[in-house]
Amino acid sequence: MDDTGGGATVGVGTDLPLALDLVEGVQLRVLNATSSSLQGVSLTPGPNSLKPALYLQGDSRDLRLPKSVFERAVAILRRSEEFTVAASLKQEEANSGSILSFSHGFNRYLELQSSGRKDEIRLHYTTHDRLVRVESFPYRLADNTWHKVAVSISGPQVDLMVDCHRLYRRLIRPPDRNFTAESAAPVPTPPSVSSTTTSPPDTTTSTPQLSLWLGQRNDKHSLFKGALEEVRLVAGPHGYLSQCPELDAVCPTCGEFSFLSSTVDALRKHLRELNERVAAAETRVRILERCDCLKSCRGENGTVHNDGATWQRGC
């Protein structure tokens, strides 16, 4: 695909997008498409009458987003302690496909997937020790009905919301947000019946370059079939409010509490060091106060007189 970026809402005084719409740029490209690179991709009416949705079909397509969009998405993940993947979609029954995937071949760095065969939503993510973990949430999303899905990650906590209802809240190992695993992304095993699975790093993998895929993991596997009206990466806490503005914002979030806790710890350390420096200064002052502080002086002819000495001048 050419360098057509996704839509973004930009914060005042910063180049970091607060929200990145991954579908918008593809919609514009489909409207102007004449090439075969968009095979299996067309437009269909969505629940929002203001814009169409992407209709994904077939077993061969290439919705790898441009490098500029990938870099903006990475910037969101790197700079924001909390982020949300929010999607509006309609998935065909019995289809298992990726909604969003940072991957290279079979190597999944971060991926949101819906399995219509096992009726579960899966979050694949990489930890700081380069282990791929899979968090599975039982839910039948592939029912050929429009749904709003939001997965919010806040520090070690993940929330899953469907149609503005919070279904799951779990504690997980914090995902790697700095893309340090990009140079050696591991290959995960298929998820087991348990909610969380882990895979060791694949040390035989050559240095891959991750790509950002929409509606698929790569050009052949985990192809989502159905419609995608919106897939957004939202930076900051309470990202689900972009889909469900009528909901209350829980304050503070797990990420905000973690940040506040680390800030308090830093202040305590600074205060402890300051107290130690004050105590050391007071000790030095007490030593000086106990000192006799004898001081000699020098006369007009260069003679040195000790402290307490007397002499006559001009007699």
Domain boundaries, the chain: 7-245, 252-291
0.95 exceeded by the pTM? no
The one-letter amino acid at 135:
E
Residues of the chain with pLDDT under 50: 1-4, 8-17, 181, 183-194, 201-207
The DSSP bridge pattern shows strands 297-298 and 41-44 to be unpaired
Cβ-proximal residues to 156 (8 Å cutoff; 6+ apart), any chain: 171, 172, 173, 174, 254, 258
pLDDT value, residue 202: 46
Each residue of 180-192: pLDDT tens digit?
A: 645 444 444 444 4
Residue carrying structure tokens 């469907």: 162
Q: Mark out the alpha helices in the chain (DSSP H runs).
A: 24-31, 67-79, 254-290
Of 190, 224, 206, the C-alpha closest to 104 is 206
Write out the two tokens for 172: 């997980």
pLDDT value, residue 315: 59
Determine the Cα–Cα distance for residues 224 and 74; give it in Å rounded to an integer.
Answer: 22
- Which class is 7-245 in CATH? mainly beta
pLDDT value, residue 11: 41
Of 99, 102, 306, 301, the C-alpha closest to 215 is 99
Phi/psi for 165 (5° steps) reads -120, 130
Length of the chain, in residues? 315
Residue carrying structure tokens 């002819």: 301
